[in-house]
Structure 1
Amino acid sequence: MAERLLERGLFASRWLMAPMYVGLAGALVILMGKFLQAVVEFALHATTATESQTVLAILSLIDLTLAGNLMLIVIFSGYENFVSKIDVGDHEDQPDWKGKVDFAGLKIKLIASIVAISGIHLLKIFMDIAKYSDRDVMWMVIIHVVFVGSGVLLALMDRIHGGPPGDGGH
């Protein structure tokens, strides 16, 4: 009896994560505000901006968009993996991957998004490299390489743990 009660309580504790996912959705609204602010700023200066400034502004918009995509992946996958399935019926707009991304897949999607965001940030730095010291650029490249290496190692670990594709692994 006590064991069953404890297990039900532990299982119910997954709902403690739900407010965190709601908080991430709120942060997504804030990120959208920053994106709109960047679009307005870009539009106001588009006619007088240099080619380099235009590319940097576009890269900033892409960077914010990728961060938003990353947040959605965490919200949907995290909620479905750890709290409850999201029931939207047969809504035509639900993502194909919804309900199919397990924790291993989530890790790979997260690191891939982080690598993409880091790569875009590094490209923005290279576009305006005169503003940065050699030491700053070196550390930013090292950090990016660490993200890439971490992604490759995570993918390899999942591959090794799961065995070759098609063997029923995990």
Structure 2
Amino acid sequence: MRDKIESSLESAIFNSRWLLAPFYLLLILGILALFVKMLKEVAGLFHILMTGEGNLIIAILGMVDVTLVANLLLIVVFSGYENFISKLDVAHNSVDKPSWMGKVSYADLKLKLIGSIVAISAIDLLKAFVNIQSTDQTQLAWQIGIHLTFVVSGVLFAVMDRIAFGGKH
């Protein structure tokens, strides 16, 4: 009787990982929302090209920013699903399969996430520097501080993983 209860409990805990699946599906909707945002960015880019009003570099950096966030979501969806729910068997023989797919551990995922966040922060900071004449100095100082916090956090994550895995990771 005790073994049956324990087995049922362990099975329920193991199968609870599927509760995360809707989260990943909703993140895919987030990627679709970013696609709509990208279309708006492209429309703004064409407006700048046609009228000469606005800053072309900032418009392009906005497109890069949206793309980096979409990449971040895709990494979270693929890696999270494979690390916490189930292996993705749909692309096992495909030449289109990304080289990192199926090989990203939880530690790798943390580093990819912080790397993407640092890149997104850097793009936002670059946009502020390109538009420095209309950027509030206090706001710029906060952006620099936040960016440096992300950079330091990323370095600390990498150092902690290196220490934890003895350089074998």
TM range (shorter): over 0.9
Q: Deviations over 1:99-139 (max 9, x none)?
A: 00000000000000000000000000011112222111111
Partner of 2:128: 125
Q: Which residue of 1 aligns with 2:96?
A: 93
* Paired amino acid for 1:154: F
- Per the alignment, residue 21 of structure 1 pairs with 24
CA distance in 2, matches of 1:130, 1:108: 34
Counterpart in the other structure of 1:81: 83
Aligned partner of 2:61 among 42, 59, 62 = 59
Measured in 2, the distance between the counterparts of 1:72 and 1:119 equals: 20
Aligned partner letter, 2:70: G
Aligned-pair identity in percent equals: 47
Kindly indicate whether residue 9 of structure 2 is the aligned counterpart of residue 6 of structure 1. yes
Aligned residues: 165
RMSD: 1.3
Instruction: List alignment gaps of at least 5 residues for structure 1.
Output: none
Aligned AA (2:45): F
Could you state the TM-score of these two structures normalised by the residue count of structure 1?
0.93
Deviation, 1:57, is 0.5
Structure 2 counterparts to residues 142-161 of structure 1, below 5 A = 142-161=145-164
Matched, 1:38 2:56: no
Q: Which stretches in structure 2 are left out of the alignment for 5+ residues?
A: none
User: 1:114 maps to which residue?
Assistant: 117
Q: Does residue 72 of the first structure (1) align with residue 74 of the second (2)? A: yes
Distance in 2 (CA, whole Å) between partners of 1:60 and 1:132 is 16
Contact map agreement 2:48 2:55 (CA 8 A) in 1: no
